[in-house]
Structure 1
Amino acid sequence: MSSKPPASSAGPPRPNFLHRVSHHIRRYSSLHLSLANLKRIAFAISLLSCLSAGSIMLFSLFSTALHEIVGLTYFQINFIAAMSSIGMYLCLPGLGYLGDCYGPAVLLLLLIWFFCPSYFFNSVLVARLQQLPGSSYDQVPSSYVYGFATAFFFIGLATSSLYFASVITCAKIYPDHKGLAISLPITCYGLSSLFGSQLMKMAYFKHDGSSYLDLHKAFNFFGVLYIIMGILNFVSNSIVIVEQDVLFAAPSLPDETTPLVSLAADDEDDSNSLLPQRSLVEPQHHHQRYIQFLHDKSAWILLVATALNLGPLESYQVNLGSILKNSTYHTDLSNQVSIIATSSTISRLVLGGLSDYISSDKRAYPICRVWLIVLVLVVGAVGQVANMYISEDNEQWYYIISILNGFSYGGLFTVLPTIVASIWGIDMMGSTWGSFMVAPAIGSVGYSLFYGKQIDSNCVNGGASCLSEYFNVTGVSMACSLVLVVAVWKLIWAKRGFALF
């Protein structure tokens, strides 16, 4: 009499196609790549990922078309922008903690899960809205607004996953040069918005020959782009996910030129190789140190300062199109976006290297990195307040204002994480800097909604003076953040031995 074998003896499930492909990629890289080359490849892939990650920074281009073509009010647009900021920043504490515990490769898996469906969903919403008869600013169904907001929330989340994984990877691969290692991926992120703004100037992306974007084509383009980036990051995950312990613990290895043959053994349980696994990547005493960080009053003061400076700059970039429209002159929005992106990119690269140089112990008179924050905040405050003094006679100065705001934005996103890594440790950077990203989320939401309320109620007839109250508030906000940063440095960090870092 025959009987079926028990279910428990059936053995592990057969690996699917993606697992087999991933296994072959990892095996080949382990046999043929030295540690030094693996570090270079991981670094290069991270930079390439950042070069494509900045589509969310083109929101000022999207917002103009959402208002003029789709029919959304500025308050609705700023609500959508606020949701993108919440997705982009408010989830970063959890993402950073995951990156520290499991390695940044796990964050890259979120890329294709959120980017592609969200952009394609936006494209469908735009197509359906344009088919509605006689839609105007007060007739767009609220369900569409909530749909856009949800999609941009996930786009923000995917942006942070891709960007943050790249920054953590670069910083942990080359911890002795953290200023430059952090600034390079951030620079590439800035370049992505520059490339994107120029690409969107092509006639193909214009709506019926106008100066506004054809959002249906633009959203479809980014959906396809991130499918390609998802495939590339699948390859990079396959290379890095097994070797990440070696990659981030490189000082313990005697020879970086030796192929990683020891990591090439066949795993019988390879079907679970892409799942998160705790490893040497996680910092020692991670949980206890993170709790201590959360109880550090200096961290909370710096959090408030970050909300007060990055909030206005985020809102400024989101609303640049309407700021230009309600001024007394007209200039090309794509060019202004490009100027801000270029200025931001240059400041990221220059200040990253400069922060390492001026604070080096090898210099006769080293200078603390905090002075760079002071410089950046002064520039940002001037860039905000100066918007109230633009007229038809000196409109060329607006290019300088765009440079000032771009310089301040890029500088803050370069020097602030470097300071956080210096005070609380490079190995905890994912958790600590991720927690600080709550600040621009709160700041961006608050200032964006405040801006939307101001422009909808005060700028019916246009004119630079209609936004004077808004720019007064943002200028004072930047000045207050400067005072808080200097105070926390002199009154708390200096007493802990961080007078110079």
Structure 2
Amino acid sequence: MSSSPLLKPSEDAKVVEYRGIRSANISAGSSRAATPSPSPPHPNEALSMKRRKRVQWLRYSAGACALVSCLSAGSILLFSLYTPLFQRHIHYSQMQINAIAIAAELGMYLLVPIFGWICDNYGPDRLSLVSILMFVPGYLFAAYCYTNKLSYAAMFFAFLLIGGGTVSMYLTGMTTCAKNFTKRRGLALAIPISAFGLSPFWMSQVANAFFIKESQDGDGRVELDINSLYTFFAVYLLAVGLLGSVFLKVYPDPDLDEVTLRGETAPLLASSPTAAEHVEYGAAVLSNDPQDIPPVVKRRLLNDDTRNFLSDPTMWWFAAGVFLTAGPGESFINNMGALIKTIQPASSTTAASDETAVNVSIIAITSTLARLVSGVLSDYLGPPVEPAPASDEQDARAKRFTVSRILLLILFTALMLIPYSLLSSGYIQVHPQLFYVVSSLVGVGYGAVFTLAPTIVSVVWGVENLATNWGVIAMLPAGGASVFGLLFALIYDSEAERQNNGDHGLGNGLCFGLKCYQGSFAGMVASCMIAIGLWMWAWRGRGGWLARGVSV
């Protein structure tokens, strides 16, 4: 009976069989499991020069396509350009506008674990097709809602789809670069993330150059043609998604041997149960091709990594800090159009939409520069993550000056405290011409946080399951954006109602003055300070990364 071909081994049996085979192979060549062998590889194991060049070309073409995807994914960051038109033409209140913004945040963040799982298990090319299914109907329906002045509930659904398309296309680019270029993971993450941050810059310029029309109010001013702009985004993002479905793939690095490859992708938490399982299952295979790992073993490793990640208390402290810093940043970006009109004097001749477009560009540029700078600092100042030979480890540490990535994260978060303090103190209300300082510092802090946070996740818990692990943490900014967005809207609408009860209000639910936003930004200052404390505890507190020997 046992030899019957009808009896197929179970998945557990395959794992055990594979584990035994790999254990025997590693035992037979134990020196390779510890340090690279000085002897040349067997001809059958070495990649041919032709294949090496082909793989290198494929990796760089995938990287180029990943940058195109990230440069195209950030259309949602133009939301502050639409808010004055939503208020003026379809008469949405600030609370309703923030509900639509929250829908986009929910689509962006709550779906990340699902999209991350698809990306890790089926590849970024499949996820690129998913982005098409979210972006195209989302933007077409949003255009229909605006043209026909549908209720905010309909627009809520449209931006829920747009948010899902944003994160799926963004994840395809980030994961492709992170898994194809593991030698410099800080830059491998910083460059696509920077491209994403830069996308609203060129999109806002294109919108203001090609998608404007005369105002519907008949006052001679010009405004965005929302219907045409949304239709353009639907067609353009369809093309980018199809391009990604062809080129966005993960290829093994021919310049990495099995020891380096395993060191680049394994979690640094030595106490992790999966750290032992990676070795036991033979994930440090004697080939650098991920296809050599049987699918059943790969799924088991990814599932074990996820369970270990979710059971780690330091992850929740770290994630709470991301919640408390990303939320204020998202709220500021979403409400910047209303905020500028609130700060701008009623007698000003400058259109609030023009001022908003300028500050959207400022945030895009400063966040892009901050992503690049923080990525470089993470690589060149952060503790090394690659395994070094034991004889050279002490010499390397003695020669190299290092700064913890957590300290870099705290430094950039502290920069975000400055603009929130300037707003809550009333200084910018008196000096509105300095609003560019606020948008610049928010852009710097926001961009750096969203570069350093996934980098720290990849360092502490490994890059192999990065899309899923970062996806879990990336859910939390949706809650943060919701909390701080609703806080801003509640204070704004309450003050607008009070002002419009008299004869001096602006009407249409609009608000002017410090009281419209002071309380919400005071809360943002406190939020960032608490986040810094939580990150310090995850790093240096009881059972933190420092106590467990994790060089982060």
Instruction: Tell me the residue number matched to 2:236.
Output: 225
Instruction: Tell me the residue number matched to 2:456.
Output: 419
In the TM superposition, what are the counterparts of 1:353-368 in structure 2 within 5 Å? 353-361=376-384, 362=396, 364-368=400-404
What is the alpha-carbon distance in structure 2 between the residues aligned to residue 32 and residue 71 of structure 1? Answer: 60
Structure 1 contact 101–279 (Cα < 8 Å) conserved: no
- Read off the aligned partner of 1:218 and give its amino acid letter: L
- Read off the aligned partner of 2:322 and give its amino acid letter: T
Instruction: Tell me the residue number matched to 1:312.
Output: 328
Instruction: Tell me the residue number matched to 1:210.
Output: 221
Distance 1:211 1:308, change over 3 A: farther
Q: Which has the larger radius of gyration?
A: 2
* 1:99 correspondence with 2:119: yes
What is the alpha-carbon distance in structure 2 between the residues aligned to residue 33 and residue 250 of structure 1? Answer: 11
What is the alpha-carbon distance in structure 2 between the residues aligned to residue 279 and residue 228 of structure 1? Answer: 31
Structure 2 contact 68–240 (Cα < 8 Å) conserved: no
In the TM superposition, what are the counterparts of 1:316-355 in structure 2 within 5 Å? 316-329=332-345, 332-355=355-378
- Read off the aligned partner of 2:122 and give its amino acid letter: Y
Please point out which of 47, 59, 72 is paired with 2:67.
47
Distance 1:477 1:336, change over 3 A: same
Runs of 4 or more above 6 Å deviation: 30-33
Gaps of at least 5 residues in structure 1 are 1-29, 130-140, 254-276
* 1:400 correspondence with 2:437: yes
What is the CA deviation profile of residues 109-141 of structure 1, one whole-angstrom value per residue up to 9, with x for unaligned ones?
A: 112111111111111111112xxxxxxxxxxx6
Please point out which of 191, 196, 201 is paired with 1:189.
196
Structure 1 contact 54–159 (Cα < 8 Å) conserved: yes
Q: TM-score, normalised by structure 2?
A: 0.74
Distance 1:374 1:472, change over 3 A: same
Structure 1 contact 100–282 (Cα < 8 Å) conserved: no
In the TM superposition, what are the counterparts of 1:381-392 in structure 2 within 5 Å? 381-388=417-424, 389-391=426-428
Please point out which of 236, 244, 252 is paired with 1:247.
252
Structure with bigger RCO (C-alpha 8 Å, 6+ apart): 1
Distance 1:307 1:423, change over 3 A: same
Instruction: Tell me the residue number matched to 1:85.
Output: 105
Structure 1 contact 248–281 (Cα < 8 Å) conserved: no
Structure 2 contact 169–241 (Cα < 8 Å) conserved: no
Instruction: Tell me the residue number matched to 1:179.
Output: 186
Alignment partner of 1:496: what SS? Answer: coil
* 1:429 correspondence with 2:466: yes
Distance 1:113 1:299, change over 3 A: same
Structure 2 contact 429–514 (Cα < 8 Å) conserved: no
What is the alpha-carbon distance in structure 1 between the residues aligned to residue 114 and residue 492 of structure 2? Answer: 35
What is the CA deviation profile of residues 168-214 of structure 1, one whole-angstrom value per residue up to 9, with x for unaligned ones?
A: 11011111200000000011111111111112222632443635322
- Read off the aligned partner of 1:430 and give its amino acid letter: A
Gaps of at least 5 residues in structure 2 are 1-49, 259-292, 385-395, 500-504, 506-511
Distance 1:62 1:33, change over 3 A: farther
Distance 1:453 1:493, change over 3 A: same
Q: CA deviation at 1:339?
A: 0.6
Percent identical: 31
What is the alpha-carbon distance in structure 2 between the residues aligned to residue 298 and residue 360 of structure 1? Answer: 19
In the TM superposition, what are the counterparts of 1:289-300 in structure 2 within 5 Å? 289-300=305-316
Alignment partner of 1:202: what SS? Answer: helix
What is the CA deviation profile of residues 299-356 of structure 1, one whole-angstrom value per residue up to 9, with x for unaligned ones?
A: 1111111111100100100000000111144561100111111110100011111110
Q: CA deviation at 1:364?
A: 2.5
What is the alpha-carbon distance in structure 2 between the residues aligned to residue 398 and residue 374 of structure 1? Answer: 24
Alignment partner of 1:222: what SS? Answer: helix
Please point out which of 56, 70, 78 is paired with 2:76.
56
CA-based RMSD: 2.4
What is the alpha-carbon distance in structure 2 between the residues aligned to residue 223 and residue 32 of structure 1? Answer: 38
What is the alpha-carbon distance in structure 2 between the residues aligned to residue 203 and residue 286 of structure 1? Answer: 46
Q: Larger deviation: 389-398 or 452-461?
A: 389-398
- Read off the aligned partner of 1:91 and give its amino acid letter: L
Alignment partner of 1:109: what SS? Answer: helix
What is the alpha-carbon distance in structure 2 between the residues aligned to residue 278 and residue 167 of structure 1? Answer: 25
Please point out which of 122, 139, 145 is paired with 1:125.
145
What is the alpha-carbon distance in structure 2 between the residues aligned to residue 198 and residue 278 of structure 1? Answer: 48
Please point out which of 263, 288, 301 is paired with 2:317.
301
- Read off the aligned partner of 2:449 and give its amino acid letter: L
Instruction: Tell me the residue number matched to 2:546.
Output: 494
Q: Larger deviation: 212-221 or 294-303?
A: 212-221
Q: CA deviation at 1:487?
A: 1.3
What is the CA deviation profile of residues 39-89 of structure 1, one whole-angstrom value per residue up to 9, with x for unaligned ones?
A: 000000000111111100001012221111221111111101101100000
Q: CA deviation at 1:283?
A: 6.8
